[in-house]
């Protein structure tokens, strides 16, 4: 007798008939579990009844926990107010902008968007308009969205790293080639680009912590050096805090490192899972959106999404112990994983900041993308796959990070470390911890 197909797989097959690949973003397909039907707090439930402690957290968008009452209640109130009008402004949009300019050090004005990709696209366009220059510098391994200007050189294999590595077919070649690639934590690689392209570079854009390749931590010298270089050469410094913003500190990583960029893109965690993002910066720069730089989008500042953002940011502002708690749990996970790897004599490096953690299967230390080329891609995926199979949701793709939300507990951490010890021991016993392979994959 043929086995009965799981409901989740059946849903995926139905999706494939009407959605390319069965998912609406390239990095969503992970095999089992195929489909989800519920989420609450730190847990998600799949279509087949499996329950998982969620460390994926929608690529970090879920900060307070799934279906956080403080956010959902604000959204319910917003649904009783004005819906989408598409003219003028609504009170939630103003409240959101007021909070952003209060909380983010670089923010004197802001514009709203629906996604991080839209926010970084606006940042790049604004930088080129302000400076009158065509070129952009980004760093190998950083991801800034799907638009042509930045869709290159994220998780590149060794033969394409630092060279021409577009993320997609169909990109405009001129746009791809107008973005130059430097090495993270390497100021000399940035200086060399300025020397090669004098008075042509509009901006440097970076993730202050490149979380799209796990968690590379910047040196203070590096971020301060970028600020000095851009100022000296008449370029703008853009922080892409779509992931680091609100997750690591109320004012983003710029608050942590004390370096203020000219422009800041943010999103994901600011609305605890609702589709909201933005771009903020100096008043003289942002004012260009009033004149010759196009600002458009019917759904920008949607009152429901804005209400979610206001509720999330207000909660974080009024509960400063949130960061103490999530940082402590994150450090417990990192230290516990280091202890386990040491006990098992596994050559690996645990990285992270705040509530984010990742295990690189290379001895380290890891400062930039060059060291990540030695990461054992197969082991990375296997660790996340086996943890997911054990009930701890981690995207089984190389270099993808894991997130602690406000709903995780010390007991959750204890159980996670216990499962990790069993998984890593089984991987060692199965001979999966000996290879060195280049990473592959893309996306946030």
Distance (Å, whole) CA 408 – CA 55: 9
| CA terminus-to-terminus distance, the chain | 42
| CA dist 415 → 346, 361, 390 (Å) | 20, 22, 11
| Whole-number CA gyration radius for the chain | 21
Catalytic residue among 43, 143, 194, 360: 143
Distance (Å, whole) CA 176 – CA 147: 10
Is 367 buried (19+), middle (13-18) or exposed (0-12) by CB count in 10 A? Answer: middle
Catalytic residue among 268, 323, 360, 377: 268
| Catalytic residue flag (residue 240) | yes
Q: Which helix (H) or strand (E) holds 303?
A: helix 303-318
| Catalytic residue flag (residue 268) | yes
Which DSSP string corresponds to 413-431? HHHHHHHHHHHHHHHHHTT
* DSSP-based three-state secondary structure for 135: strand
Distance (Å, whole) CA 282 – CA 101: 10
Cis peptide before 144 (omega within 30 of 0): no
Distance (Å, whole) CA 10 – CA 202: 49
* DSSP-based three-state secondary structure for 137: strand
Q: Are 243 and 444 in contact (CB under 8 A)?
A: yes
Distance (Å, whole) CA 294 – CA 114: 16
Distance (Å, whole) CA 313 – CA 103: 9
Which DSSP string corresponds to 238-298? EEEETTTBTTTBTT-HHHHH----SEEEE-GGGGTTSS-EEEEE-HHHHGGGGTTS----T
Catalytic residue among 165, 186, 240, 262: 240
Q: Which residues are catalytic?
A: 143, 240, 268
């Amino acid at each position: 007798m043929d086995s009965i197909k799981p409901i989740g797989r059946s849903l995926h097959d139905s999706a494939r008939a009407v959605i390319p690949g069965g998912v609406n973003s390239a990095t969503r397909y992970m095999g089992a579990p195929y489909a989800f039907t519920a989420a609450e707090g730190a847990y998600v439930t799949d279509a087949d009844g499996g329950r998982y402690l969620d460390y994926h957290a929608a690529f970090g968008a879920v900060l307070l926990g799934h279906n956080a009452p403080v956010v959902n209640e604000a959204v319910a109130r917003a649904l009783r107010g004005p819906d989408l009008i598409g003219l003028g402004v609504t009170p939630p949009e103003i409240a959101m902008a007021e909070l952003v300019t209060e909380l983010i050090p670089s923010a004197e004005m802001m514009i709203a968007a629906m996604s991080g990709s839209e926010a970084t696209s606006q940042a790049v366009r604004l930088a080129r308009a302000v400076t009158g220059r065509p070129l952009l510098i980004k760093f190998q391994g950083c991801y800034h969205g799907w638009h042509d200007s930045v869709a290159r050189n994220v998780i590149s294999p060794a033969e394409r790293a630092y060279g021409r590595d577009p993320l997609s077919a169909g990109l405009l070649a001129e746009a791809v080639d107008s973005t130059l690639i430097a090495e993270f934590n390497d100021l000399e690689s940035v200086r060399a680009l300025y020397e090669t392209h004098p008075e042509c570079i509009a901006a440097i854009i970076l993730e202050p912590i490149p979380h799209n390749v796990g968690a590379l931590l910047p040196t203070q010298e590096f971020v301060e050096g970028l600020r000095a270089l851009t100022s000296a050469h008449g370029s703008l410094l853009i922080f892409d805090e779509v992931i680091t913003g609100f997750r690591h500190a109320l004012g983003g990583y710029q608050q942590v490192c004390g370096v203020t960029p000219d422009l800041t893109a943010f999103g994901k965690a600011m609305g605890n899972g609702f589709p909201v993002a933005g771009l903020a910066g100096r008043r003289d720069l942002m004012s260009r959106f009033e004149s010759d730089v196009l600002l458009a989008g019917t759904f920008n500042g949607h009152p429901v999404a804005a209400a979610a953002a206001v509720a999330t940011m207000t909660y974080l502002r009024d509960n400063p112990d949130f960061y103490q708690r999530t940082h402590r749990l994150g450090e417990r996970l990192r230290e516990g994983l280091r202890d386990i790897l040491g006990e098992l004599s596994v050559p690996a490096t645990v990285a992270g900041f705040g509530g984010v953690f990742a295990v690189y299967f290379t001895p380290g230390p890891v400062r930039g993308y060059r060291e990540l080329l030695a990461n054992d891609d197969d082991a990375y995926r296997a660790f996340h796959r086996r943890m997911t199979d054990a009930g701890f949701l981690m995207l089984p793709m190389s270099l993808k990070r894991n997130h602690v939300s406000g709903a995780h507990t010390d007991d959750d951490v204890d159980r996670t470390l216990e499962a990790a010890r069993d998984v890593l021991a089984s991987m060692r016993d199965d001979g999966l911890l000996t290879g060195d392979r280049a990473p592959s994959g893309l996306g946030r």
